[in-house]
Amino acid sequence: MSNISDLIKEHTVVVDEGSGVLIQPMTGEYSYILTAKHNILVDYEDSESATKVLADITITTISGDNLQVNDIYRHQSLDIAVIRIDCYKTELKIYPYQGHLSSVDDIWLYGYPGRLRLKSPLVKEWIEKYDLVLHESSLSTVTFRNRESALYVEVKGFSGGGIFYVNEIKGQYFLAGIENKMSSHGEYVDRIVGIPIVAFDGLLKENNLAPLKPLHLAGFKYLSDQILPEKYYEHLADFEWNDFLHVINLLKTILKDQVENINISPLDILKNDIQNLKVNNQDIADLENKELWGALLELMILNSLKDNENYDDFELNTDINRLLKKYRIIYINSDKGWKANYEAIVTTKIENLDEDGKVIVIVGRGASLGVEAFIPKESLLHVVDSISNANGKYNDIDNALYNNPIRYPVIDWLSLHHQCLFVVGKEFMSSRFRDDNIKLLKQKYQPYLDAQGHDNG
């Protein structure tokens, strides 16, 4: 994983005398710079002032590159603006924080104070970070205490800079808002004021602009290269990689030919079927994770594979409603295996599954080596049944864990791939013909994914 601080710096840009945050919305056509409105006004002290001529606004990245401004959208009353740049930034990875900040959270402010711009011609030498503590918040404003008070002149230039929520232990990083002013103009400043990221939603909607959501939520076509990523199998080295990758590339080729036929987007599924994907009190941001939707795309193609033997006649089944009746997806954003997340798995509601349905657990970085694709039922029946074991924000009886006796076969998704594809990679060397390899894939996966597959106990 990239260093979080370095990643944030790649998102932080200079906007004339202020700062801004470069972010990729849910479109492949353009990117945004979120900033304070006063940075793009002719008179920054007058909120009613005219907007600067586009050519007079200089946007500079930390590497020193200038970005061309294509349009500006300013909020009528709040001190925020969106600058559109007509380029697609694939490397942008930070998205809005959807939780509620608390005083115990790690909150970082990044920007380009003016005093540092005088000391070096290199933009990378201008950037600075402050550690903040939440003081108070509302829908339109949020106030922080700077852990170390700073001179007013030292903070000037941060306006428009990103306020980031960071959880270094989990490797999480989100944009929580942008800084737009200091609470006072005295010599020292220990209160910094910002505007929460949710305030930008209305401005984007008002101007028919793409929302601040990951690009892959716009369509499965943005995920066709994400299936069977290298991290699934990087620990394996006992077979010929060229032949093994030949089969993975075959699946990716099949998918690319079919993915345009998927007439529903991940965002549509989230809106309509979130309860069939959510795990207890899971953060919504986890359900926007690319790993979940890449795995769902893998399931779609492998589920369709069961009913197709001829490559030329292959047709991807895009009936998402039916798919979610056959399989309950439990996705947990974690680097640990299913045993470490046992409680979340056995307490997830699965009552909407068909009688012959299956539960698919997607958790962890790699396969649980030595574990069959089906998780033994006896390993899942030690359900916590104490009503005093509460779950959620409020530790009371109304939030007691949902006691769900597992009666469906439970599949560890990465162990399934390990069982059916990775450890038998050499078998695919026997034939380079597409149809033969498809038949072999079907032979491996069908006993697990078929409606009449094995029981797990």
pLDDT tens string 105-124:
999 999 999 888 888 899 99
The secondary structure of 239-306 as a DSSP string is S-HHHHHHHHHHHHHHHHHHGGG--S-HHHHHHHHGGGT--TT--GGGGG-HHHHHHHHHHHHHHHHT
Quick: pLDDT tens for 393-403.
444 544 455 55
The band of 457, judged by pLDDT with boundaries at 50, 70 and 90, is: very low
Other beta carbons within 10 angstroms of residue 2's beta carbon come to 12
- Alpha-carbon distances, residue 239 vs 155, 245, 253 (angstroms): 57, 10, 22
Q: Collapse the DSSP code of 162 into the 3-class scheme (helix H, G, I; strand E, B; otherwise coil) and give the result.
A: strand
Per-residue model confidence as pLDDT tens digits over 134-166: 998 888 899 998 887 666 667 788 999 999 999
Within 10 angstroms of residue 41's Cβ, the number of other Cβ atoms is: 20
| Domains along the chain with CATH numbers | 4-206 (2.40.10.120), 215-449 (no CATH)
Q: Tell me the pLDDT of the chain averaged across its residues.
A: 83
pLDDT surpasses 80 at 442: yes
CB 350 within 8 A of CB 404: yes
Using one digit for the tens of pLDDT, what is the confidence trace for 49-70?
999 999 999 999 999 999 999 9
Query: What is the distance between the terminal CA atoms of the chain, rounded to a whole angstrom?
Result: 37
Cα–Cα nearest to 151, from 128, 170, 133: 128
Could you tell me if 345 and 379 are in contact, meaning their C-beta atoms sit under 8 angstroms apart?
Answer: no
For tokens 């409603």, the residue is 321
Distances in whole angstroms, Cα of residue 170 to Cα of each of 11, 34, 323, 334: 20, 26, 31, 8
What is the rounded distance in angstroms from the CA atom of residue 141 to the CA atom of residue 134? 12
The 10s digit of each residue's pLDDT in 307-338 is 776 666 677 888 898 999 999 999 998 888 88
How far is Cα 366 from Cα 376, in angstroms, rounded to an integer? 19
Count CB atoms within 10 A of the CB of residue 441.
Answer: 20
Residue linked to tokens 């893998």: 298
Q: Which of 205, 194, 200 is nearest to 164 (CA)?
A: 194
Name the token pair of 412: 């560890």
Task: Give the span between the Cα atoms of 394 and 161, in whole angstroms.
Answer: 34
Which of residues 442 and 122 earns the better pLDDT score? Answer: 122
Question: What pLDDT band is residue 453 in, cutting at 50, 70 and 90?
Answer: very low
Is there a contact between 354 and 369 (Cβ–Cβ < 8 Å)? no
Cα–Cα distance, 18 to 126 (Å, whole number): 12
d(CA 164, CA 277): 27
Higher pLDDT pick, 341 / 205? 205
Q: What percent of the chain has pLDDT over 90?
A: 43
- What's this model's pTM, rounded to 2 decimal places? 0.81
Kindly give, in sequence order, each residue whose CB lies less than 8 Å from that of residue 455, ignoring residues fewer than 6 positions away.
377, 409
User: For residue 340, is pLDDT > 50?
Assistant: yes
Neighbours of 237 (CB within 10 A): 7
- Contacts (Cβ under 8 Å, ≥6 apart) of 11: 21, 22, 23, 92, 94, 162, 175
In the structure, what pLDDT confidence band is assigned to residue 352 with cuts at 50, 70 and 90?
confident
Q: How many residues does the chain have?
A: 457
Which residues have C-beta within 8 Å of that of residue 379, sequence separation ≥ 6? none
Quick check: helix, strand or coil at residue 84? strand
